[in-house]
Structures are given as structure tokens and as C-alpha cells.
């Protein structure tokens, strides 16, 4: 029995080195595998992590490119914004109470306001809290005189977008905003930084890649404690490129001015030869510098985003009832159809009945028996009712398409644009956009309304500009543009010959000349000396949404070889196009003629 126990103990002692060897070997194997994983397989990843801990980038913000007018005058640039900041990690509660009193007195700012800014910063765990934004020169001087007693409070500087003319061409220029956290996940791959600016609307949005520039910075090396050891090199930031617009500042200024007393409206000034926009204004507008503020007061925010007047809406690209300025489309439809040739004479009447309604002449008398030119001159409703009813809805619709209606104009800021509506029998059969197919048929009253641009026709001022430009330039549909940036890609579609008989276009053009010589637009010549011959058309349109009438006036000059075209629109301004829209165009013509 004793010998048996000795043998068992001996066997256990002999197995111990083996067990130890196996455990050691297994441990060594695990370490070896881990080393292989770290040094060979994941070498680059861990090297990158090491470098990120060792290397820091001090980023340098790029200067955003300028937006300038056709003569090089600055419409948008960048400026340095100075802010008063506090670093709460260096300031205790007692010190802050003292600082708050000093800053409030020094800058004449409510201590409650300062307290809120400070408290909000602490809640969001910020290491730098902005107390006062956009400091003026005298405020900076005041701080510099007292900064030795305000430890932990500094003046910081950053580049912000600046619009020297504030509201001018706000819908055209557009604005910038910081990118969101969600956007950063995608845009970081394109070089954007957190809180970087990006164009949201207008030219700022369309030419974002061209304007924004590239970030630069200095690479520095730090030790384990985060202390600077050496610079590894500097890459300067790359300034963004300028964008030169076709806008003429002088014409833009007067376009904004003539809209000031209007509730709403739009002005478009265009070169009818190629579509270059010389001015585009929309009322109401907004101060572009609002978006450059770090702190945006709630009242200002509501006035911009929640106002029933919709200041962010570009009325130059939004659709409205055109009224009598639409009569050129009905006229061309009559001529092109062959049913009402150029020598057509029609008897005008006090009113003509279609369906259950008698559609009146605007003077309630009629103008006797007249042809196309005189019908345009006096803007006869009953003449064009007869033309429209005679050719039918689809003939008018087809001509409207040739003149650029029911489609986007091609202008760069198309994100603001509306295609509008021109009715057709197919549109009615499909339910008119709101009813059931087959339950909303075309009726006689529709064609009368359509013939003079009411209710079943809604078009944008930019579409009107294109259509009238085709008459002014001899039959070419132009693509409006705001910059020469895409000149090569747009050159093929800027001027398209339209499939309309030039003789018919000339007849309408003759009628538009008579409008200004002795018709409803004769007052365009009042108070203007040495003005080249002008052709144009007045328009008064009932608002399909139930508001007061709209006022329109369109003109181009010189009548032959035209160089300038103006669309003037006064929204919900009753009284007639000759009374409200024409005078706006006249003031623009004065400035253009003087400068020319």
C-alpha cells in the first residue's frame, strides 16, 4: 500500500513539468498571435491611431470667394467677426459674478442676457462661450483697456459671410448656414469641418464648390502630455474663387427701389438677345446678414420663416395669373392655326356669353371692328375671347409650350422656380390636379378665361420674360442666366429657334409698339427724354386665389434690335398695370438710358 502511494506521487511529480510546459507554450502562442495581429495585420491602423494621438492639426479657415456684379462691384464677401468669449474652466462662480457686472457696465448689456449665455454654455459643456457677438471697434477698444482685469475672457475672431447691400438681390445671391451633424457625416469626406458654412440657396448654393475654397492648417507634434514639440509643416488655406454675375448693380438698386411701396411683387430686367439677367428683385425680401449671426433673435427668425408674407419666396420665379399680358399667346395661336390670319377683323362687344356667363369688355362698350394690332393696343378682351374660343384650348396650350411656358426656364437658381400651369383638355380630363379623372371636363367658360390669361393659366415673371424676348429678338427662345460660369455648357441651349412663323411674330410685335405709341402703355414715355422706341403690354389680372388684382407691365427697347426687356409685377395691387406696374418699368428705363 505504501509503495502504491509512492508510485502515484512520483507520477504526479513527473507530469507537473509537462503541464507547466503546455501552459507556458500556450501563453507564448497567444502573445505571438497578438503581436502578429498588432505588428503585421493591423500595423497601419494602430500607426494611424498613434499618429492621431501624437499629431495635431491647427485648421485654418478658407476665405469664401466673392460674388460680384458685371462691373466688379462686391455683392457678397467675407469679413472678420470679433466676439467676446469666456473660458469657464478658468473662472469660478464668484469671479463670474464680478465679471458679469463689469461686462454689463462696460458694454451696456443686460446682466440677465449675459447670465443666460453663460448658463447655456455651461449646460452644453462648452469650453468657450460667446457672450457678445459681432463687436464694434469701440467695444474692442474698451475691452483692450480692461483685459488685464478680466482673466479667462478673450476676444476671438472668425470669418463670416458679409453682404454689404443687406437685402439687395437676396433671392438671387442666397445665403449660407453651418452644416448639420447629419450633413457632416457625408460632407467630411469632401473636406468640410464641423460647423463649416455651406450655401443654402441662390448663387451661394449653385456655385458652392467654386466659392468655398479649401481648408489649410499647421501639423504639429505633441508629446504624451500634449505639450507642443515641433511643427511638421504648414499648408495654407486656399481661397475660394469669385463668381461674377450678369447683374448690373445700378439696375438692381432701382429695381429694389421701385418695389418699396408695393405689398409684394417682382422685377426682371433681361437682355432679350441672350437671356443675361441684369436685375432680379422680389418683394418682400430679407437681410442676408441675418444668417451670419451666431445668435438669431426669435422675433427676427419668425419674421423670416413664419411670416404670412413669405419673404423667402422668390416671386420672380413663382406663378401668378398673367391677365392681359397673356394675350400675345392667344394672338399667336390664332395666327398659327390659320383660322384667324393676319388680316382678320372682329367685332368687339360690351360682353360675349360663353356657357352661363357673359364675359365683359373692360370698357363695357367694345372698340368696334378691329384687327390684331389694334386689339393689342387697346387690350380688347372680346377680340381675344373670339380668337381663343375659335382655335380651342389645345392650340393655345401648344403655342404656350413653344414660348417656354409649363417648363422651368433653365436659370441657375431653379430650386426656387415654379413650372406654373397652362390648362389643356388632357389636364381637365385627368382631374385638373385635384379631382377624379373624367369628372372635371373642359367647359366653355374655361376657354374665355384662358384666352385672356385668367384662372386656368398661371405663369412666372421669368417665363413671361422668355416669351416676350422671343418676340423682341425675332423668334429665339433664350435661357435666362445669372453668371457666365457655365457659359460653354449653356451656349447650345441659350438660343433656340422656335417653330413659329416670323411674320406672325412681327405682327404681334407691331401691336406691342402701338400699345406704347397710343394705347394702354403710352404713359411709359412721360418724363423720359431721348428714350429709344419702346414696345410693351399692360396687364391687370384677377387673383385666382381670391385676393386683389395683380398689375403687370412688360416692355422691351429699342423696339427693333432690342437690348433690354423689363417685366414689372405688382402683386395684389388693384388699379391696373398702367397705373402701378408701368411706372416701375419707367424708372428702370430712365436709369438704363442715362447710364447707356
Q: What is the C-alpha separation between 289 and 292, in angstroms, rounded?
A: 5
Q: What is the C-alpha separation between 554 and 586, in angstroms, rounded?
A: 11
- Reduced to 3 states (helix: H, G, I; strand: E, B; else coil), residue 196 is coil
Return the pLDDT at 233.
75
Q: How many CA atoms does the CB half-sphere of 2 hold within 13 Å?
A: 0
- Reduced to 3 states (helix: H, G, I; strand: E, B; else coil), residue 217 is strand
The three state secondary structure string of 1-35 is CHHHHHHHHHHHHHHHHHHHHHHHHHHHHHHHHHH
Cβ-based neighbours of 107, under 8 Å, separated by 6 or more: 84, 132, 139, 142
Q: What is the C-alpha separation between 562 and 559, in angstroms, rounded?
A: 6
Return the pLDDT at 12.
54
DSSP 369-433: EE-HHHHHHHT-HHHHHHHHHHH-HHHHHHHHHHTTTTS----TTGGG----EE--HHHHHTTTT
Instruction: Give the angle 562-564-566 at the CA atoms, nearest 5°.
Output: 125
Cell of 36: 502578429
Rounded to the nearest 5 percent, the helix, strand and coil shares of the chain are 45, 20, 35
Residue 250: CB atoms within 10 A of its CB come to 18
Cell of 551: 398689375
Q: What is the C-alpha separation between 107 and 7, in angstroms, rounded?
A: 96
Please choose, from the candidates 556, 593, 533, the residue with its C-alpha nearest in 3D space to the C-alpha of residue 469: 556
Instruction: Give the angle 300-122-59 at the CA atoms, nearest 5°.
Output: 80
CA separation (Å) from 332 to 399, 446, 459, 581?
7, 19, 17, 24
Region for residue 62 given its phi and psi (left: phi exceeds 0; alpha: psi -120 to 50; beta: otherwise)? beta
Domains of the chain (ranges; CATH) run: 50-82+159-244 (3.90.1310.10), 88-151 (no CATH), 249-301+315-595 (3.40.710.10)
Q: What is the C-alpha separation between 229 and 586, in angstroms, rounded?
A: 69
**Rounded to the nearest 10 degrees, what angle do helices 381-391 and 393-402 cross at?**
100
Return the pLDDT at 292.
86
- Could you identify the residue written with the cell 467677426? 81
Find out whether 339 and 473 touch, Cβ atoms under 8 Å: no
- Reduced to 3 states (helix: H, G, I; strand: E, B; else coil), residue 576 is coil
Q: What is the C-alpha separation between 245 and 483, in angstroms, rounded?
A: 4
DSSP 470-502: HHHTTSEEE--BSBSTTHHHHTTTSEEE-SS-H
Find out whether 215 and 59 touch, Cβ atoms under 8 Å: yes
Q: What is the C-alpha separation between 316 and 318, in angstroms, rounded?
A: 6
Return the pLDDT at 49.
46
pTM of the model: 0.84
Q: What is the C-alpha separation between 412 and 427, in angstroms, rounded?
A: 28
Does the CA dihedral 591-412-535-451 come out positive or negative?
Answer: negative
Please choose, from the candidates 354, 519, 546, 547, the residue with its C-alpha nearest in 3D space to the C-alpha of residue 452: 354
Which DSSP helix (H) or strand (E) runs through 74? strand 74-86
Residue 203 φ then ψ, to 5°: -60, -35
Mean pLDDT by groups of 10 residues along the chain of 596 residues: 53 59 71 64 52 62 92 94 87 90 91 91 83 89 89 85 96 94 90 88 96 80 63 80 97 98 97 97 96 82 92 98 98 98 98 95 97 98 98 97 97 95 93 87 92 97 98 97 75 81 98 97 89 96 94 97 98 96 97 91
Please choose, from the candidates 585, 453, 568, 461, the residue with its C-alpha nearest in 3D space to the C-alpha of residue 527: 585
Residue 353 φ then ψ, to 5°: -90, 130
Cβ-based neighbours of 370, under 8 Å, separated by 6 or more: 345, 346, 348, 378, 380, 383
Burial of residue 2 (number of CB atoms within 10 Å: 0-12, 13-18, 19+): exposed
Amino acid at each position: 500500500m505504501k509503495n502504491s502511494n509512492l508510485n502515484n506521487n512520483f507520477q504526479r511529480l513527473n507530469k507537473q513539468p509537462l503541464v507547466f510546459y503546455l501552459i507556458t507554450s500556450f501563453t507564448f502562442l497567444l502573445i505571438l498571435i497578438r503581436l502578429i495581429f498588432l505588428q503585421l495585420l493591423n500595423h497601419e491602423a494602430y500607426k494611424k491611431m498613434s499618429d492621431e494621438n501624437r499629431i495635431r492639426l491647427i485648421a485654418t479657415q478658407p476665405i469664401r470667394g466673392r460674388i460680384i456684379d458685371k462691373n466688379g462691384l462686391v455683392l457678397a464677401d467675407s469679413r472678420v467677426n470679433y466676439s467676446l468669449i469666456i473660458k469657464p474652466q478658468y473662472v469660478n462662480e464668484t469671479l463670474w459674478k464680478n465679471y458679469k457686472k463689469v461686462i454689463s457696465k462696460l458694454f451696456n448689456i443686460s446682466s440677465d442676457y449675459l447670465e443666460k449665455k453663460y448658463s447655456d454654455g455651461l449646460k452644453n459643456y462648452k469650453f468657450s462661450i460667446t457672450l457678445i457677438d459681432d463687436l464694434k471697434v469701440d467695444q474692442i477698444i474698451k475691452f483692450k483697456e480692461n483685459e488685464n482685469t478680466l482673466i479667462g475672457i478673450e476676444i476671438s475672431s472668425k470669418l463670416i459671410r458679409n453682404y454689404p447691400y443687406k437685402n439687395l438681390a437676396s433671392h438671387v445671391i442666397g445665403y449660407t448656414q453651418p452644416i448639420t451633424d447629419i450633413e457632416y457625416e457625408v460632407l467630411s469626406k469632401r473636406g468640410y469641418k464641423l460647423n463649416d458654412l455651406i450655401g443654402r440657396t441662390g448663387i451661394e448654393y449653385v456655385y458652392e464648390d467654386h466659392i468655398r475654397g479649401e481648408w489649410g492648417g499647421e501639423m504639429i507634434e505633441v508629446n504624451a502630455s500634449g505639450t507642443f514639440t515641433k511643427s511638421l509643416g504648414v499648408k495654407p488655406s486656399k481661397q475660394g474663387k469669385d463668381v461674377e454675375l450678369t447683374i448690373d448693380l445700378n439696375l438692381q438698386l432701382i429695381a429694389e427701389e421701385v418695389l418699396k411701396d408695393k405689398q409684394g411683387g417682382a422685377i426682371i430686367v433681361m437682355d432679350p438677345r441672350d437671356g443675361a439677367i441684369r436685375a432680379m428683385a422680389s418683394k418682400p425680401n430679407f437681410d442676408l446678414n441675418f444668417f451670419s449671426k451666431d445668435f438669431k433673435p426669435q422675433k427676427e427668425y419668425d419674421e423670416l420663416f413664419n411670416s404670412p408674407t413669405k419673404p423667402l419666396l422668390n416671386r420672380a420665379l413663382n406663378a401668378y395669373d398673367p391677365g392681359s399680358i397673356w394675350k400675345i399667346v392667344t394672338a399667336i395661336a390664332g395666327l398659327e392655326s390659320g383660322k384667324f390670319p393676319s388680316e382678320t377683323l372682329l367685332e368687339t362687344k360690351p360682353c360675349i356669353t360663353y356657357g352661363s356667363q357673359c364675359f365683359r369688355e373692360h370698357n363695357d362698350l367694345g372698340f368696334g371692328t378691329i384687327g390684331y394690332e389694334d386689339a393689342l393696343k387697346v387690350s380688347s378682351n372680346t377680340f381675344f375671347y373670339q380668337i381663343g374660343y375659335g382655335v380651342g384650348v389645345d392650340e393655345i396650350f401648344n403655342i404656350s409650350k413653344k414660348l417656354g411656358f409649363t417648363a422651368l426656364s433653365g436659370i441657375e437658381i431653379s430650386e426656387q422656380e415654379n413650372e406654373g400651369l397652362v390648362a389643356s383638355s388632357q389636364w381637365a380630363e385627368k382631374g385638373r390636379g385635384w379631382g377624379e379623372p373624367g369628372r372635371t371636363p373642359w367647359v366653355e367658360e374655361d376657354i374665355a378665361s384662358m384666352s385672356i390669361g385668367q384662372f386656368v393659366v398661371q405663369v412666372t415673371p421669368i417665363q413671361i420674360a422668355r416669351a416676350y424676348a422671343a418676340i423682341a429678338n425675332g423668334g429665339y427662345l433664350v435661357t435666362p442666366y445669372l453668371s457666365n460660369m457655365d457659359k460653354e455648357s449653356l451656349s447650345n441651349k441659350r438660343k433656340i429657334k422656335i417653330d413659329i412663323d416670323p411674320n406672325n411674330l412681327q405682327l404681334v410685335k407691331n401691336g406691342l409698339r402701338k400699345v406704347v405709341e397710343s394705347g394702354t402703355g403710352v404713359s411709359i414715355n412721360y418724363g423720359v427724354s431721348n428714350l429709344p422706341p419702346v414696345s410693351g403690354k399692360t396687364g391687370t389680372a384677377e387673383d385666382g386665389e381670391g385676393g386683389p388684382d395683380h398689375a403687370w407691365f412688360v416692355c422691351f427697347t429699342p423696339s427693333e434690335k432690342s437690348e433690354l426687356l423689363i417685366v414689372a409685377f405688382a402683386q395684389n395691387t388693384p388699379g391696373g398695370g398702367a397705373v402701378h406696374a408701368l411706372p416701375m418699368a419707367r424708372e428702370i428705363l430712365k436709369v438704363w438710358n442715362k447710364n447707356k
